[in-house]
Chain A
Amino acid sequence: MFAVIKDLIRYNAEFAIGLLLSSIIVLLALLSFFSPIDPTRVYSVLPDVPPSADFWFGTNSRGQDLFWQVTFALRNSLTFGLIVAVLSRVISITVGLLSGYLGGWVDRGLMFVNDIFVAVPVFPILVLFYFVLRDKLDSTMLALIMACMGWPFDARLIRSVTLGLKHREFTRHAVFAGMSTRKILLEEHLPYVMPIIFSTALANMIWSIGLEVTLAVLGFTDSNVPTIGTMLYWANKHSALVVGVWWWILIPVVFVVIMFVGLFLLAVSLNEYIDPRSRLRRMGA
């Protein structure tokens, strides 16, 4: 495991940069556990102070220290992305493995449902959920809904890998040895699918956090919970740019860019690592 990471850092600049950027984000998110202040409180410090030695990222018009706001925002956004990624992975693994291994009517039925989910535009559906649930739509609920929408692409990918595994000799051995289907899928096939699950999980996090930011900026989530999106929401509410509090906009935008580019580079380089052809080319073989 560590040898793999060391190799990746040496031969793959994208992985190294991605790892660096993501580490910055994770470190900041972890700092929130040591925060001296409650992030939901307003007017706890002087409002509208530009970045300085006392307040590294400045303070906003609601009297909040942006540094600690950012740490909480990153933690909440990352947690949200992780919940969606884990839940939607469970659905996509189940559907992908079953569909690929069992084939026949199960496969056709599941892929039919899969295609419906691919074709439905997610954003209007999420807005619809907000419209009818209003305040009842907290981040757990939102994560659940997004997990139900975010699996079809990856299920198809896992299915295609399982299709290949199905006709390999070891599968036949397992069947003749009397292994149950559940055991074959979980113990024989799942390990082969694992690398794909990791890289698609990162892509899924980018997708879900991006949608969460968007919904939050429009004011369609709980605006009292600090996330990157709600920070921008409040900045817009207070017309930060017109008032001249530019750092209130700049700080969340900079960190959202760092977070997304970091996660994306990790996903891309892992993807490449999975495909041995491109890995060899990079190492100059």
Chain B
Amino acid sequence: MRGYFWFVFRRILQLFAVIVGGISAAFFISHLSPISPVEQALARITSRSNFSPEAIEAMRSALTDLYGVNEPLLGQFVSFWRRALIGDFGPSLIAFPSPAMDLVMRALPWTLGLLATAIVIQWFVGNILGGLAGYYQKNRVLKAFGVVSMGLQPIPHYIVAFVLLIVFGFIWPIFPISGGFAMNVRFAFTPEFVLSVLQHAVLPAATLVLVGMGGWFLGMRALVSNIVTEDYVTYAELAGVNRNRIVGSYVIRNALVPQITALAMTLGGIFSGTVIVEVVFSYPGLGTLLVDAVEGGDYSLVLAVSTVAIAAVAVAIFIVDLLYPLLDPRVKVE
């Protein structure tokens, strides 16, 4: 157990490094760019109507003040971190004057909910079916499933989402295609609201599951088809152990550990997929917020969303990483 605490300690250090490194990178990308956020916002505001030169000058100084870009870069970096730690990213432009962090916090549960549901479904279903396909290699249905996963797995999330949108929103409209819940439902914890949320989550979640499941299926099938040649499996078969028991307790169980590590390593990619899926279905999560912020030229909001996204993915990977030594007693924690 002492080894495990040492492992956790090292992982925490790494978690901090990822968060600090990632967020600092986000800061420097946005601040070392040749384009000034002040001029960008100003161009956007003045393009809509006429302003007198004095008014433009006044706006320029107000915006410079707001973004604090007149300070030296190091000073900005320090004050950015000081404010980021208490979750203050300044007011957003597209929903002025609500703080950018409020918008992010409102969007975060939607993304987390969608992501968690999709990952749990794709990971479990993909691995179980893949394990069965690796063990019962002659089964026609499982073979067909393998062919389908090979066809779906490499397709970008956007394309699958787009096709689902056309098929189930246009050709055969049975699912809602935009938003997180129906407009005419009150935002409260009622059965009606929950049902509406579930209905709206079907297509986004289905996209993530369709694209993601193939990878788990193929990975698990490959792992299991190597394990079934091991002596202990042959021995169990000769000893007359129930085949379902062999596949469940002896084979899949052993192959699960690398799949958990793989889950930790692909979380970042799945998150990127979620961002895109949200945009396609106008789901009120972080992805839609990020794209809206980019299109609205909202500096603070873009930085806030990226920061929270980097931190959230890092924490999620950390949690998955902490789980797998507990599930596999053979892993000797260094």
Q: Per DSSP, are chain A's interface residues mostly helix, strand or loop, or mixed?
A: helix
CA distance A206 to B279 in the complex (A): 21
The interface residues of chain B lying within 8 Å CB-to-CB of A284 are none
Per-residue B-contact encoding for A118-153, CB less than 8 Å = 1, 0 else: 111111110111111110100000000000000001
The interface residues of chain B lying within 8 Å CB-to-CB of A253 are 159, 162-163
CA distance A112 to B157 in the complex (A): 30
The interface residues of chain B lying within 8 Å CB-to-CB of A122 are 268-269, 272
Q: Which residue of A lies closest to B163 (CB)?
A: A253
Distance of A39 from chain B, by nearest CB (Å): 22
Distance of B142 from chain A, by nearest CB (Å): 16
Per-residue B-contact encoding for A84-119, CB less than 8 Å = 1, 0 else: 000000000000000000000000000010011011
Whether B279 pairs with A218 at a CB distance below 8 angstroms is yes
B34 located at the interface, meaning its Cβ lies under 8 Å from any Cβ of chain A in the complex: yes
The interface residues of chain A lying within 8 Å CB-to-CB of B103 are none
A14 located at the interface, meaning its Cβ lies under 8 Å from any Cβ of chain B in the complex: yes
CA distance A261 to B153 in the complex (A): 8
The interface residues of chain B lying within 8 Å CB-to-CB of A153 are 265
B170 located at the interface, meaning its Cβ lies under 8 Å from any Cβ of chain A in the complex: yes
Per-residue A-contact encoding for B299-329, CB less than 8 Å = 1, 0 else: 0001001100110011001000000000000
Q: Contacts A119-B314, A124-B290, A256-B159: A277 and B309 contacting too (C-beta < 8 A)?
A: no
B30 located at the interface, meaning its Cβ lies under 8 Å from any Cβ of chain A in the complex: yes
B25 located at the interface, meaning its Cβ lies under 8 Å from any Cβ of chain A in the complex: yes
CA distance A159 to B305 in the complex (A): 34
Distance of B222 from chain A, by nearest CB (Å): 7
Whether A264 pairs with B153 at a CB distance below 8 angstroms is yes
CA distance A142 to B166 in the complex (A): 30
Q: Which of the residues B29, B30, B276 comes within 8 Å of A123, measured between beta carbons? A: B276
Whether B18 pairs with A115 at a CB distance below 8 angstroms is yes
Per-residue A-contact encoding for B150-167, CB less than 8 Å = 1, 0 else: 110111111100110010
The interface residues of chain B lying within 8 Å CB-to-CB of A265 are 150
Distance of B75 from chain A, by nearest CB (Å): 20
CA distance A65 to B258 in the complex (A): 49
Q: Contacts A119-B22, A124-B275, A257-B155: A130 and B313 contacting too (C-beta < 8 A)?
A: no
Q: Contacts A132-B35, A213-B159: A116 and B272 contacting too (C-beta < 8 A)?
A: no
B26 located at the interface, meaning its Cβ lies under 8 Å from any Cβ of chain A in the complex: yes
B50 located at the interface, meaning its Cβ lies under 8 Å from any Cβ of chain A in the complex: no
CA distance A277 to B272 in the complex (A): 34
Q: Which residue of B lies closest to A149 (CB)?
A: B268
Distance of A156 from chain B, by nearest CB (Å): 9
Whether A120 pairs with B18 at a CB distance below 8 angstroms is yes
The interface residues of chain A lying within 8 Å CB-to-CB of B271 are 121, 123
Additional pairs, 17, CB under 8 Å, beyond known A213-B159, A264-B154, A268-B150:
A120-B268, A120-B314, A123-B272, A123-B276, A128-B302, A132-B29, A132-B35, A133-B33, A133-B35, A213-B156, A214-B158, A220-B294, A256-B156, A257-B155, A260-B154, A261-B150, A278-B226
Q: Can you list 25 contacts pairing A with B, beta carbon distance less than 8 Å? A: A14-B150, A115-B14, A119-B313, A121-B271, A121-B272, A121-B313, A122-B269, A122-B272, A124-B290, A127-B294, A127-B302, A128-B26, A132-B30, A132-B35, A134-B35, A213-B156, A214-B156, A217-B158, A241-B166, A256-B155, A256-B156, A256-B159, A261-B150, A268-B218, A277-B226
B residues neighboring A (CB under 8 Å): 14, 17-18, 21-22, 25-26, 29-30, 33-35, 150-151, 153-159, 162-163, 166, 170, 218, 222, 225-226, 265, 268-269, 271-272, 275-276, 279, 290-291, 294, 302, 305-306, 309-310, 313-314, 317
